[in-house]
Amino acid sequence: MPVVAAALAAVLLPWLWKALVHLVWRPYAVSRAFAAQGVNGPAYRFFVGNTGETGAMQAAASGESLDRGSHDTTTRVMPYVRAWTSLYGKVFLWWSGPRPVLNVGDYDMVKRILSDKSGLYVKPDPGPSIMAMLGNGLIFSEGDVWARHRRVVHPAFAMDKLKMMTGTFEASAREVIVGAWEARVEAAATTKEATVEVGEQFTELTADVISHTAFGSSYRQGKEVFMAQRELQFMAMASMNKVHVPGLEYVPTKNNVRRWQLQRKVRGTLMAIIEERMAAATEAKGYGTDLLGLMLESNNAGDGGRRVMSMDEIIDECKTFFFAGHDTTAHLLTWAMFLLATHPEWQQRLREEVLRECGGAGTPLHGDTLNKLKLVTMVLYETLRLYGAVNVMGRQATADVDLCGVKVPKGTMLSIPLVTLQRDEEVWGRDAGEFNPFRFKDGVGRAAGHPNALLAFSLGPRSCIGQNFAMLEGKTTLVLILRRFEFEVAPEYVHAPADFLTLQPQHGLPVVLKLL
C-alpha cells in the first residue's frame, strides 16, 4: 500500500500543483500586476471567474426591451461591459473562468492590436462548436496558413468579379423578396397592405444568394450546407458563457454526437461539390465563374501548377464564406429595414436617390450604378455602426506585450467591445447614440474623431475580405425594395436586439408593406 500511495502521490501532486498555479496563484498575480498599472475590475472567483455575474446580468437584460427610438444595444447584449465600464473605465480586467480578459475600450489600443503583423495578438480558440460551423478558414487561421489562404481567396472577391454577380443578386431578390411581398400585398384586397416578418425572409434570400454565387449550379446542395450550419450556430450559441472543461468536446454526449453528425454532413456535401467541379475542369470545362470556381482556379495557380491549399482547407474556406456570406448580410438588411421604417424621412430620401440613379422598377441594375448611391451607402454604414453583426472581437496575447503603456501578460484575452466603441461620444460626437447617416457624407475615414473608427468589417491586415460582397448585395436588395414598397414597423414589434453569435431581433421584425 505505501508503494501505491507513493505512486499516486507522484502522479497527483504535480497535477495538483499545476491546477493550484492556474486557478489560484496566476489570477492573483495577474490581478496585482494590472492593479499596479491602474487597471482594475471585478474580483476573481475561484474557477468560475466572473461568469456568474455576466450570466446574471445577461439573464436580467434579456427580459427587458428597448424603446424603438433607442439604439443602445449594449444594455441588452453586453450589460456587464456597460456596468463595469461605469465603475472601472474603458480599460478593465475581468475573468472568464480562470482566464484573464482585458476589456479594450480605447481606440488607440484597438488600432494597435488590429494593425499588428508580428503575431503578438492572435485569435483565440473559438471552441469546437464554432470551429465546426466556420472551419479553420480566413477567420481563425493565423500566420503563414492565413497568408496562404488569403492569396488564394482574395481574387474571388475582387470588385470587378463582384460586379458581374449583380445580376445574380437581383434575380434572387426579385424571386425571394419582391415577388413574394407583392403577392402578399395584392392578396390583401381591402387594405392593400401586408405584414411580413422580414428577418426570416432576408435569411432565406441571403442563403439563396450565397448558394448561387458560391456554388453556381450546385446551389441546392449549398442549401443543405446552410441548414446544417444553422443548427451548428444554435449549438454554438448554447455553449457561450459556459466555463470550458478541457477534453469535454471529445466525450460522446448527445450534443457532441449531433455536432459530429453535422460536421460530417457539411464536409461530405462540400467535398462532393468540389470534386465534381475539379472533374469538370479536367475535361476542359473550366472551374466556373462562381466563388468556388474562382477560388479553385487561384488554388491551382501555384508554382508548377501545384495546389496551394489542400481539400480540407478548401472545405474550411467554403464553410467560412458560406456562413459569413449569408448570416451577416441578412442581419444588415434586417436592421437597415428597421432604421428606414422608423425614419420615414430617410426612407424617402433613399427612394428619390434610387429612382434618380437606377430608374424605375423595370430597369436592370448594374454594379457601376449601385456605386453611385451615396445616401444608400451612408445608411448601410450607419446601420453597421449601430447594429453591426458582431458585438465583440477577441484576441490573445502570445507574449508579454506593452499595449499603449499597459503591460499585458502572455495568454491574456483581449476583448474589443465594438458595441461600446461604436457609440463612444468622445469619438463619434454627442449624437453617437442617434441614427445620423450624414456623419458618413465624407466617407468612412472621416466619419468620426478617430480615423477609420467604423470597425464593423474590422481593420488592418485581417479586415473582412467579403465587405464589398456584403455592401453590393445590400444595395441591390434595398434598391429593389425601395422602388416597389413603402414600409413601417408593425405595431406588435418589440425592440429587443439579441446576440445569437450575430446581432438579431429577438422577436423578429414584422414590417407593414404597401405597394407604391
Are 18 and 63 part of one and the same domain?
no
Is the pTM value of this prediction over 0.85? yes
* Stretches in the chain below the pLDDT threshold 70: 1, 217, 240-245, 284-285, 302-305
Are 84 and 226 part of one and the same domain?
yes
Three-state DSSP class for residue 242:
coil
- CA quadruple 502, 123, 157, 419: dihedral, nearest 10: 40
Three-state DSSP class for residue 165:
coil
Task: Pinpoint the alpha helices (H) of 301-413.
Answer: 311-342, 344-358, 367-370, 374-387
Are 5 and 63 part of one and the same domain?
no
What is the Cα–Cα distance from 145 to 147, expressed in whole angstroms?
6
Are 25 and 168 part of one and the same domain?
no
Q: What is the pLDDT of residue 77?
A: 96
Are 21 and 150 part of one and the same domain?
no
Three-state DSSP class for residue 9:
helix
What is the Cα–Cα distance from 197 to 490, expressed in whole angstroms?
9
Are 16 and 55 part of one and the same domain?
no
- Give the number of C-alpha atoms closer than 13 A to the C-alpha of residue 293, restricted to the C-beta side: 18
510: buried, middle or exposed (CB in 10 Å: 19+, 13-18, 0-12)? middle
Are 65 and 18 part of one and the same domain?
no
At 40-60, the pLDDT tens digits run 999 999 999 999 999 999 999
Residues 6+ away with beta carbon under 8 Å from 452: 111, 444, 445, 459
Are 140 and 263 part of one and the same domain?
yes
Specify whether the backbone of 199 is left (phi greater than 0), alpha (psi in -120 to 50) or beta: alpha
User: 455 to each of 123, 161, 325, 392, 421, how far by Cα in Å?
Assistant: 16, 25, 18, 10, 9
Q: What is the pLDDT of residue 19?
A: 86
At 78-102, the pLDDT tens digits run 999 999 999 999 999 999 999 999 9
CA angle at 351 for the pair 350 and 356, rounded to the nearest 5°:
100
For residue 503, how far is the Cα from the chain centroid? 8
DSSP 431-454: TTTS--GGGGTT-GGGSSSSTT--
CATH number at residue 275: 1.10.630.10
Are 61 and 102 part of one and the same domain?
yes
Q: What is the pLDDT of residue 51?
A: 93
Does 464 count as an annotated binding residue? yes
**Nearest of 367, 369, 341 to residue 353 by alpha carbon:** 369
Are 255 and 295 part of one and the same domain?
yes
Is the Cα torsion angle 361, 363, 367, 372 positive or negative in sign? negative
Three-state DSSP class for residue 405:
coil
> What element of type H or E holds 121?
strand 121-122
The domain total for the chain is: 2
Give residue 3's domain range: 1-29
Q: 110 with 116: CB under 8 angstroms?
A: no
Angle separating helix axes 219-238 and 311-342, nearest 10 degrees: 80
Q: What is the pLDDT of residue 230?
A: 86
β-pair type (502-505, 497-500): antiparallel
**Nearest of 136, 178, 219, 170 to residue 365 by alpha carbon:** 170
Are 290 and 421 part of one and the same domain?
yes
What is the Cα–Cα distance from 139 to 142, expressed in whole angstroms?
9
Are 12 and 118 part of one and the same domain?
no
What is the Cα–Cα distance from 496 to 451, expressed in whole angstroms?
31
